Amino acid sequence: MSKPLKYIVEKLRVAPGDEVDLAERSTNETFGLDKAEAPALMAEMKVTLDLLQQRLYAERTRSVLLVVQAMDAAGKDGTVRNTLSGLNPAGVRVTSFKAPGGPEAAHDYLWRVHAACPARGEIGVFNRSHYEDVLVVRVKNLVPEKQWRRRYHHIREFERLLHDEGTTVIKCFLHVSKETQAERLQERLDDPEKHWKFRADDLKDRALWDEYQAAFREAIEETTTEDSPWFVVPADRNWVRNLAVGRILLETLEALDPKVPPPEAGLENIRIV
């Protein structure tokens, strides 16, 4: 493993009590790596990720939840696709949360989220998540401040519950610059294969850039904990973003150190004919 990769996780981790000035955090950091190295580094990392995921799936006593949040065009889909491709799909569960409707809207905001959490043995991924309820609802004034502000406490306790019951929660904010977002949104408009990704509301959200940055900053500061930390991942360079998230997931699984369960008794003398 390349030496700089060994230090990525701690550089990006937000410790409890840290102040998060997103304007001062780099969106195009390379960590001393070269783009030409990225494919080999990712391939090497996936070998270990695949092994650890198989052990986690076989063990079936614990799980991992990776939460991915970002501004539009930061690369949430690409991160999930590039980081988790090649793993056993039976042990990976990806959930993308849209605006709540039907039964979801008739329950509290965490109801649908808890139901989507990974089962024991699984790696779960939230592409957007319960954090929309302290981000979008705040910026767009969908609920009173008193209501969304108390949700920080709810979320901390919800994630503590998950941790205590065997789910390790890791949260990645893909930190993209406003300039890079503009380039990627324009690309969606210029490329017929990407038109479907563009919504007129993307421009309305972009006009609220500063408000969203403030909401992300406070959400990260209020909900990063020792057991369920946030990581601010530079996202202007896709290859750096993917390596960083992959490394965060890898170190999380290594710390869990899942074990293949012992074989059923009496199998040692069986011969298949």
pLDDT at 208 over 90: yes
pLDDT of residue 168: 98
- Mean pLDDT across the chain, nearest whole number? 94
Taking alpha carbons only, the member of 118, 45, 57, 55 closest to residue 83 is: 45
**What pLDDT, on a 0 to 100 scale, did the predictor assign at position 202?**
87
Mean pLDDT computed over 70-81: 96
Quickly state the pLDDT bin for 10 (edges 50, 70, 90): very high
**Rounded to whole angstroms, how far apart are CA atoms 91 and 56?**
9
pLDDT at residue 3, as a whole number: 61
pLDDT digits (tens, 9 = 90+) for 230-243: 999 999 999 999 99
Alpha-carbon distance of 112 to 105, in angstroms, equals 9
Confidence of residue 1 (pLDDT cuts 50, 70, 90): low
Domains and CATH numbers, the chain: 3-256 (3.40.50.300)
* CB of 169 closer than 8 Å to CB of 227: yes
State how far the alpha carbon of 24 is from the alpha carbons of 72, 74, 106, 223, 234, in Å: 20, 18, 40, 20, 12
